[in-house]
């Protein structure tokens, strides 16, 4: 059992600011995050993290708008499904549908804000907590395994890794989410243009709002690109020379 001093030290470690990372580390992790999204073989595996954030976004907006969350599924092909009950139309349903494709980028912005304040440990532990909360609502075996593995990796880095490794892991993860929020929008529209995914989020939004689905695809794209710019701005002070 932790002593009072041990709890105090743990709390200070969690909420305290870590030293500034080397500017080169921030730049290199930005390149790594971009390449992980751009290089298809890596993207096929790493995309699971984006799917987790996507479905988590649906779930969060559903709960915030008073809908009842019925469960989340994560599939091996990196697809996912979040089920909620409530009015099939109205603001709550619109926000729930909107939440998926913008969630990875918004999580990336939150991560960039925490990293801009050097709250690396807090970011990693917050990620573990969110994964555990999401795990409660998972309704299939692969989803459970996916979240447990992801959570174990993040916790292991936060607990056992050196500060340098924690920094590299956290920055690479945030950059990946920022860039990774954009590519699924292109993939979505590519599938839609070939007559697939007729029940996609923008198509459901179109049926509810009577606004063309391509408009909602554009909303996803604009929000996610702006998120990349905001995230890069928040992290800029970490790699630009002093006085720039």
> Model-level pTM?
0.91
Q: Show pLDDT as tens, one digit a residue, over the chain (244 residues).
A: 545 555 555 555 666 667 778 889 999 999 999 999 999 999 999 999 999 999 999 999 999 999 999 999 999 999 999 999 999 999 999 999 999 999 999 999 999 999 998 899 999 999 999 999 999 999 999 999 999 999 999 999 999 999 899 999 999 999 999 999 999 999 999 999 988 888 899 999 999 999 999 999 999 999 999 999 999 999 886 655 544 4
Q: Rounded to the nearest 5°, which phi and psi values hold at 71?
A: 155, 165
Helix axes 40-64, 141-160, angle to 10 degrees: 100
Residue 167: name the closest of 22, 11, 10 by CA: 22
- Number of continuous H segments (helices) and E segments (strands) in the chain: 10, 2
* Dihedral sign from CA coordinates of 171, 135, 82, 45: positive
CA distances from 120 to 78, 100, 129, 200 (A): 27, 25, 15, 35
Nearest residue to 77 (alpha-carbon basis) of 49, 57, 48: 48
Could you give the CA distance from residue 18 to residue 1 in angstroms, rounded to a whole number? 26
DSSP-assigned beta bridge partners for residue 74: 80
């Amino acid at each position: 059992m932790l002593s009072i001093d041990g709890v105090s030290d743990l709390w200070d470690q969690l909420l305290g600011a870590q030293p500034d990372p080397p500017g080169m580390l921030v730049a290199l992790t930005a390149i790594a995050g971009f390449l992980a999204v751009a290089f298809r073989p890596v993207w096929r595996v790493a995309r699971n993290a984006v799917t987790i954030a996507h479905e988590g976004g649906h779930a969060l907006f559903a709960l915030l708008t008073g809908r009842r969350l019925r469960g989340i599924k994560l599939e091996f092909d990196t697809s996912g499904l979040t089920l909620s009950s409530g009015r099939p139309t109205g603001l709550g349903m619109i926000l729930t549908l909107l939440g998926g494709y913008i969630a990875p980028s918004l999580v990336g912005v939150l991560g960039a804000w925490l990293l801009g304040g050097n709250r690396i440990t807090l970011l990693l532990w917050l990620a573990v907590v969110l994964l555990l909360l999401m795990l409660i609502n998972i309704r299939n075996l692969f989803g459970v395994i996916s979240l447990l593995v992801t959570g174990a990796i993040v916790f292991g880095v936060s607990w056992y890794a050196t500060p340098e490794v924690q920094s590299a892991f956290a920055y690479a993860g945030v950059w990946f989410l920022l860039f990774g929020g954009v590519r699924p929008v292109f993939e979505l529209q590519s599938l839609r243009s070939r007559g697939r995914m007729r029940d996609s989020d923008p198509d459901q939004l179109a049926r509810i709002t009577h606004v063309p689905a391509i408009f909602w695809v554009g909303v996803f794209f604009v929000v996610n690109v702006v998120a990349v710019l905001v995230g890069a701005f928040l992290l800029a002070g970490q790699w630009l020379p002093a006085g720039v």
